[in-house]
Amino acid sequence: MKTRPLRTGGLPLTWRVAALAALAIAVLSLVAILAAYLVVRSSLHADLQRALRTDASTVAELYRQGGQGSVRSRVTGPTGGVVVQVYDPTGALLVASKPAFERPQAAIPPSDVASAEAGTLLWSGMLDGRPMEAALAPFDVGVVAVLADPAYIGAALAGLSRALLLTAAIVVALSLLVGYLVAGAALRPITRLSRLAGELGPERLDPIPYEGPGDEVGRLTKSLNGLLARLREAMDAQRAFLAETSHELRTPLTSLQGFLERASRHADERSRRDVEDARRVSRGMNRLVEDLLQLSRGELVREVSPHLVDVCQDVLVQVREEFPGVHLAAEPTALVLGDPERLRQLVRNLTANAVRASAGGDGVRLALTGEGGVVWLRVEDDGPGIAPEVLPHIFEKFYKGAGGGAGLGLAIARQIARHHGGDISVESRPGRTVFTVRLPRVELGDEGD
């Protein structure tokens, strides 16, 4: 099953949890604000209508009794700014407590006034171009109306909305901070698990310690430890196989070297060179077997016999003869202090991979240059390239890329380069892959030196 690569970048998990918590609180705050707005608006309108109904009944009762007193002192309304109108039984406006409401355009329609003959009636509508709320109550010779402007309700709701929105913004900001702290505390076991898992490697596959409850983190730790146990078993089996194979190969290789040495003593001049080439190849194979044995033990390549090596003649030319078609461009003299057989093994590993990647030697180029105190050795091929996710791991022991193999050739090559005081780097894209080996250069002085 093909897995999707992990996306890099983005917010950390702690901040994402905090942001989700803040978003949830923001949504709940908006719902609460809307509910509070509707409840307060309904309550204010209900209070206004109740006060108007009470005032209308009070005024009507005052007119029916014919007692003394001022109507304005009896009714105040919710804001203290009500207007009283008196209509005759036909609905015609007779008088109002304010001159502006005695005009015809400020009168309630006669049909609505007539409806109040049966009892107190609530009314709302436009009077003189502005909305008004009113309560109408009948008395002996007509109908009294108490009016109020509901504009103060809108102003009160606007102020309430601003206060609620400001409170919600503060709550959301605080929830973001509190959410971050809570998420950090909740995710601390996972953060610790991630840190401990990041410290693991091919040479360290110890179980991750965990003493918490058997929750999701506990189950995840148990799964990881199970995976680590299986990896340890697989790597132990791999090392055991390499060790046994290396031991089994050493005996026939030793015999082969003995036979070739005896054949070299009895060979004529024409075949002596072929026998020497076979001896050199057998020595390289014996070195490879020793390397496999050391790598199976987790050791570095340590056996090096230092010589003054002409990299072009002692290494590159001989490797090119093993791989027909490979191109070579090298400086005539580039000297290093090292083991020629180990350096040939290094270049041979890189060249063999390049030939395999380019499906033939014609697409492989060996180059050698010297700059200051450094020798640069490059192996380039025109193959399909190395996938970006594979590049960081190709020099690891037992890491197998798309090209197959045992995952040891490049690991051995890097160890040889580092044991000579150098290193290997790689650049790759489709159609061009370059392995660059850096080695310390030996500068020869004059005869006095």
Q: Assign residue 415 the CATH number of its domain.
A: 3.30.565.10
User: What residue numbers bound the domain in which 280 lies?
Assistant: 216-296
Beta bridge partners of 376: 369, 438
Same domain (yes/no): 397, 285: no
For residue 29, the model assigns a pLDDT of 84
Within a domain: 365: yes
Same domain (yes/no): 235, 331: no
- Helix boundaries (H) for 267-408: 269-296, 317-322, 340-358
Same domain (yes/no): 242, 357: no
Per-residue model confidence as pLDDT tens digits over 129-150: 889 999 999 988 899 999 998 8
Across residues 187-201, what is the average pLDDT? 82
CA distance 134 to 321: 111
Within a domain: 409: yes
CA distance 206 to 202: 10
Tally of structural domains, the chain: 2
Same domain (yes/no): 290, 311: no
In sequence order, what DSSP letters do the residues of 195-209 get, joined into one string? HHHHT-BTTB-PPPP
Sign of CA dihedral 223, 225, 226, 231: positive
Do 121 and 115 meet the contact criterion of CB atoms below 8 Å apart? yes
Same domain (yes/no): 334, 369: yes
CA nearest to 371, candidates 436, 432, 319: 436
Q: Of 232, 265, 296, which marks where a domain is finished?
A: 296
CA distance 32 to 248: 79
Q: Of 296, 326, 355, which marks where a domain is finished?
A: 296
Question: Model-level pTM?
Answer: 0.48
Within a domain: 199: no
Percent of the chain whose predicted confidence (pLDDT) is above 90: 16
For residue 1, the model assigns a pLDDT of 46
CA nearest to 425, candidates 371, 372, 386: 386
Same domain (yes/no): 270, 313: no
Distances (CA, A) of 362 to 63, 181, 317, 351, 409: 119, 62, 16, 12, 22
Across residues 208-237, what is the average pLDDT? 84
Within a domain: 21: no
Within a domain: 15: no
For residue 422, the model assigns a pLDDT of 92
Same domain (yes/no): 321, 414: yes
CA angle 287, 293, 295 (to 5 degrees): 100
Query: Is a pLDDT exceeding 50 seen at residue 449?
Result: no
Q: Of 296, 317, 346, which marks where a domain is finished?
A: 296
For 1-5, 83-87, 266-270, which range has the lowest pLDDT when averaged over its residues?
1-5
Query: Is a pLDDT exceeding 70 seen at residue 3?
Result: no
Across residues 426-436, what is the average pLDDT? 92
Per-residue model confidence as pLDDT tens digits over 302-329: 556 778 888 888 888 888 888 888 899 8
Same domain (yes/no): 253, 361: no
CA nearest to 323, candidates 342, 340, 344, 292: 344
Token pair 């036909």 is found at 90
CA nearest to 394, candidates 412, 418, 411: 411
CA distance 224 to 232: 12
Q: Which long-range contacts (CB under 8 A, 24 or more apart) does 424-428 make?
A: 424/395, 426/386, 426/391, 426/394, 428/385, 428/386, 428/391
pLDDT bucket at 377, cuts 50 / 70 / 90: very high
Burial 188-199 (b: 16+ CB within 10 A, else e): ebeebbeebeee
Within a domain: 151: no
**3-class DSSP state for residue 322?**
helix
For residue 404, the model assigns a pLDDT of 54
Per-residue model confidence as pLDDT tens digits over 35-66: 988 999 899 999 988 988 988 888 888 888 76
Same domain (yes/no): 339, 434: yes
Same domain (yes/no): 385, 262: no
Same domain (yes/no): 259, 332: no
Do 166 and 35 meet the contact criterion of CB atoms below 8 Å apart? no
Within a domain: 433: yes
Q: What is the CATH number of the domain that holds 240?
A: 1.10.287.130
Per-residue model confidence as pLDDT tens digits over 263-282: 777 777 777 777 777 877 77
Percent of the chain whose predicted confidence (pLDDT) is above 70: 86
Within a domain: 383: yes
Distances (CA, A) of 110 to 79, 117, 181, 317: 27, 11, 67, 118
